[in-house]
Structure 1
Amino acid sequence: MEFLKSIYHAEESFKMFGTEHLVSVIFAILIGVILIFFAKKQKIDFQKNCLKLLSIYISSTVIIWGVFEINLGRFEIDKDLPLVFCNFIALLLPLYVFIFKRNSLLFNIIYYIIIGGAIQAIITPGLKMSFPHYEYIKFWSVHAGLIIFILYEITIFKRRPSFKGVFWAFLFVQAHVLFSFLLNVFLDSNYLFLNTKPHNASFLDLLGGWPYYIIWMDIILIPYFLIFYLPFFIKQKIKNLN
């Protein structure tokens, strides 16, 4: 009973760069390595079904989190819509897998957004509650789960991002930012931190005050995405030389 109670009411807050943070990262790495290593030894049907289940699990954690928030009377439409990129991509994963059949263009978009966003979130998590609070479980399920999902695609199915994919991902971000900006105007909200930076430490602290951090984020977005294309570019060049 105490464990079930702590899912709703954590006694301790999550401390960035603390022991729990480190343990969470190590645990996520172990889960990813074990899953991918095990799946590599299985038949293709198992590998595909595993990817499907992973997409459902990641997406469902966002939905269940929303149900918990509504049930506890905490859900606020100007704060809790799943518009943060990782949450939004998490909700889209089943569509990507089941409806769009892992379309190459969509793979590129989710690759750059997941790797670019989820890694930064894991390094500086905007997380208040510690384990086993449902907020903690949702945060790590989504961010670590997304990284495992995309690495699974790359390792098991040999999917590769493209250079053109950088620009498709950039355009997707622009469309999502524009939608969020209009919604912020309508709801007087701060989705994607377009009105003010987050209170916890983050990469945005290095980019100045409003609106300069927004402008700088847009300027550096393509070079930032290119960093995650670089390993594949170098590997292909080496392969061509051989």
Structure 2
Amino acid sequence: MSYFGLFSTEHFLSIGGYILFYLFILFISQFFSKKGFAVVISCAVLIMKIAELVIRNGVYGESIQQLIPIHLCNITLMLCIITMIFPSKSLFQIIYYWSIGAVAAILFPDGRVAFPNFVGISFFATHFFILFTVVYQMISLGYRPTFKGFIGSFVCINIFAGIVYKINEILGTNYMYINYKPTFSSPLDFFGPWPHYIIIVEIIYIVLGLLLYFPFKKRHFKYTNVY
């Protein structure tokens, strides 16, 4: 596999290309039924993710225990697929605030596989799908983030992190980078040793979450019928 450099021309072109691609998908979604469009695109993304995991295991030799989809973005992706097919205001709240992780992954990807490798395509396509789901449901379904949703997302992410920490201890893995820092370069390198960087990430999540909520503060939205 060939790799591209972090913040290289190819990295920025990849980000720009996927933004344009999903804007196009958002545009053409207006010409189909909401239900039909949601099912088709969600199934396509799910198949792509499964194919990625199969390739990483069968072709690149990554072990099954390294491919369990319990990184935060993988869980968020699964929630996106579910809520696209079965819309849920509650799940939208979690996805909206957890999408912070997708943005971080896009900016600081783990295993920066160069285009046109399928694993690299799947990485960006699935992470951008998380952001697409947020934008799509805000535009098409009228969903909006709430402060209660922010609190709920914060509680859920901490409960989930605690569970993943124990799983990592059992399997010798490091999902969510909760047991120790990732081996590749990332902003966590500047946040001190374990567990200090976890505390800093929690603070950053709170700050960014509140910033994401602020534009919608003191506004009341009426959820429309979905389908």
Partners of 1:126 and 1:200 within 8 A in 2: yes
3-state SS in 2 of match to 1:131: coil
Partners of 2:84 and 2:133 within 8 A in 1: no
2:113 counterpart of 1:129? yes
Distance in 2, matches of 1:190 and 1:39, equals 38
- Give the superposition deviation at 1:83: 1.2
2:168 counterpart of 1:197? no
3-state SS in 2 of match to 1:185: helix
Please identify runs of 4+ aligned residues in structure 1 that moved more than 4 A. none
Structure 1: where are the runs of 5+ without partners?
1-9, 238-242
Aligned pair count reads 220
2:133 counterpart of 1:149? yes
- Quote the residue 1:110 is aligned against: 95
Alpha-carbon RMSD across the aligned residues, in angstroms, is 2.0
- Quote the residue 2:224 is aligned against: none
Structure 2: where are the runs of 5+ without partners?
221-227
Which protein has the larger Cα radius of gyration, Structure 1 or Structure 2? 1
- Quote the residue 1:15 is aligned against: 5
Residue 28 of structure 2 aligns to which amino acid in structure 1?
A: F
2:192 counterpart of 1:208? yes
TM-score w.r.t. the length of structure 1 is 0.83
Structure 1 residues 64 and 134: CA distance shift in structure 2, 3 A: same
2:63 counterpart of 1:79? no
3-state SS in 2 of match to 1:196: coil
- Quote the residue 1:29 is aligned against: 19
- Quote the residue 2:223 is aligned against: none
For residues 178-193 of structure 1, the aligned pairs below 5 Å read 178-193=162-177
Distance in 2, matches of 1:129 and 1:219, equals 30
Partners of 1:59 and 1:92 within 8 A in 2: no
Distance in 2, matches of 1:174 and 1:147, equals 21
CA deviation map 1:37-72 (0-9, x unaligned):
3334x36xx233222222222222221111112323
Partners of 1:83 and 1:191 within 8 A in 2: yes
Partners of 1:58 and 1:142 within 8 A in 2: yes
Structure 1 residues 96 and 33: CA distance shift in structure 2, 3 A: closer
